[in-house]
DNA sequence: CAGTATCCCAACCGATACTG
DNA sequence: CAGTATCGGTTGGGATACTG
């Protein structure tokens, strides 16, 4: 992993920093995780799974992840509207790394020693 | 990975959410990554590697990660002060998951289609 | 060297109301 | 249903100055 540190880590103002911030953001991880099972989810279903997210932040997060090429939006022009979100191939690759990490965190929370 | 979604993801106000936020925070990931090579690093060295971090945020991040049991601080009582930080076994486990993720992100930044 | 203390601004973000 | 618009407060976080 030395390759990651030429002289620092993720140099400032580098595109990787931006992507890192999007993916690692409070709601970004939860949305990616929610979609990590492969099945497309509707807006309301994503919202239900990312417990606590506001409409505003959900919209913003989905737009950001979509423009990063990780999530895709598909709207069926019916009324009432039916919109689905799912991971792109890139998003699935990312989720492949993200899910084990989240599982570790879920498993180790509460075991912290607050010394 | 179904186990992660009993009815939602990382239920609100759950300890796992807190740990998640600490680990995934802007500077948390960079500090963990900086320490992921195993060798203890001095304050100034951590700061150099997590390019762009302010003294305030570095102190806060290190304290948080330490109280989460992921990072340990060791101060040698000499003058001038010599302090080292390194990952705990738990921190190393976590880094084992984090590093591949960061490598993927570093590798895929810039390939985004900003449609 | 390795921090702490203080000030202060900006952005994040939640709440609410409204719309196609 | 699936959003957008607007407002306002809380807090993240930078700059600077100071200390053991």
**Per-residue pLDDT tens digits for A15-27:** 888 999 999 998 9
A13: pLDDT confidence band, cut at 50, 70 and 90?
confident
**Per-residue pLDDT tens digits for A82-101:** 999 999 999 999 999 999 99
pLDDT at A1 exceeding the cut of 80? no
A73 touches strand D (CB under 7 A): yes
Q: Are B42 and B58 in contact (CB under 8 A)?
A: no
More confident residue, B10 or A8: B10
Cα distance between residue B9 and residue B14, in whole Å: 10
Pick from B68, B109, B115: CB nearest A16: B109
What residues of A are in contact with residue B5 (Cβ under 8 Å)? 34, 37, 49
pLDDT at A112 exceeding the cut of 60? no
The neighbouring-strand residues paired with A87 are: A71
Q: How much is the average pLDDT of A1-13?
A: 59
pLDDT on residue B4: 55
Cα distance between residue B102 and residue B108, in whole Å: 10
Q: How far is the CA of A62 from the CAs of A39, A53, A68, B13, B54, in angstroms?
A: 16, 12, 10, 23, 30
pLDDT on residue B12: 79
Return the domain boundaries, chain A: 16-107
Tens digits of pLDDT across chain B (115 residues): 445 554 456 887 788 888 999 999 989 999 999 999 999 999 999 999 999 899 999 999 999 999 999 999 999 989 899 999 999 999 999 999 999 999 999 999 876 544 3
Q: Is the dihedral of CA B87, B90, B92, B95 positive or negative?
A: negative
pLDDT on residue B22: 92
Asked if B108 and A20 come within 8 Å (Cβ–Cβ), the reply is no
According to CATH, what is the number of the domain A16-107? 1.10.10.10
pLDDT on residue A70: 96
- Which candidate, A62, A23, A68, A108, places its Cα nearest to that of B112? A68
| Cα B26–chain centre separation | 9
Is the CB of residue A81 less than 8 Å away from at least one CB of chain B?
no
Give, in Å, how far the C1' of C3 lies from the CA of B59: 8
**Per-residue pLDDT tens digits for A55-92:** 999 999 999 999 999 999 999 999 899 999 999 999 99
Is the CB of residue B104 less than 8 Å away from at least one CB of chain A?
yes
């Amino acid at each position: 992993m030395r390759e990651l540190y030429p002289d620092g880590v993720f140099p400032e103002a580098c595109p990787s920093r931006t992507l890192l911030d999007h993916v690692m953001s409070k709601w970004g991880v939860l949305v990616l995780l929610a979609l990590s099972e492969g099945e497309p989810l509707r807006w309301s279903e994503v919202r239900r799974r990312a417990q606590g997210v506001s409409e505003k932040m959900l919209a913003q997060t989905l737009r950001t992840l979509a423009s990063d090429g990780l999530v895709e939006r598909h709207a069926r022009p019916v009324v009432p509207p039916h919109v689905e979100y799912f991971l792109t191939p890139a998003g699935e690759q990312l989720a492949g790394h993200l899910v084990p990490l989240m599982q570790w965190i879920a498993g180790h929370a509460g075991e912290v020693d607050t010394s």
